[in-house]
Amino acid sequence: MPTITTDVDFDLDEIHDWELIDELESRGYDVIENGRSDEDLIEILEGNGYTVYAKGHKPNITRYYVEKLYDTYATMSPEFFQKELKKFFRTHLETTDY
């Protein structure tokens, strides 16, 4: 099958900002305009499933993993939970005994 190669040269100054924003949003990106407050950005990040901590705050990783294990325990079958628990021990205790 033949391949056709075309070089295209264009100036980005000829493209309107709103056209670029529409294209990025159509690809699933969030475009944040200048002047947004930190609270607005945090709200958008948390809305996308991220957790944002205050500057200098070290998250409680142990609590995070315990909550994750509990969620697995509460929502999965005992067999699946046992597999996840063994995987957790192998990963965090760096052992193959489990």
Q: pLDDT tens-digit profile of 3-15?
A: 777 777 777 778 8
Tokens linked to 46: 């948390």
Please list the alpha-helical segments (H only) found in the chain.
17-26, 38-47, 61-75, 78-93
Radius of gyration of the chain (CA): 23
- Summarize pLDDT for 39-71 with one digit per residue, the tens: 877 888 888 887 777 777 666 677 777 888 888
pLDDT computed for residue 40 by the predictor = 78
Mean pLDDT of all residues belonging to the chain: 79
Q: How far apart are CA 25 and CA 19, in angstroms?
A: 10
Confidence check: pLDDT of 98 > 70? no
pLDDT computed for residue 97 by the predictor = 66
Task: With beta carbons less than 8 A apart as the criterion, state whether 85 and 69 touch.
Answer: yes
Q: How far apart are CA 65 and CA 94, in angstroms?
A: 16
pLDDT computed for residue 58 by the predictor = 67
Q: How far apart are CA 53 and CA 46, in angstroms?
A: 11
- Summarize pLDDT for 30-41 with one digit per residue, the tens: 777 777 777 877
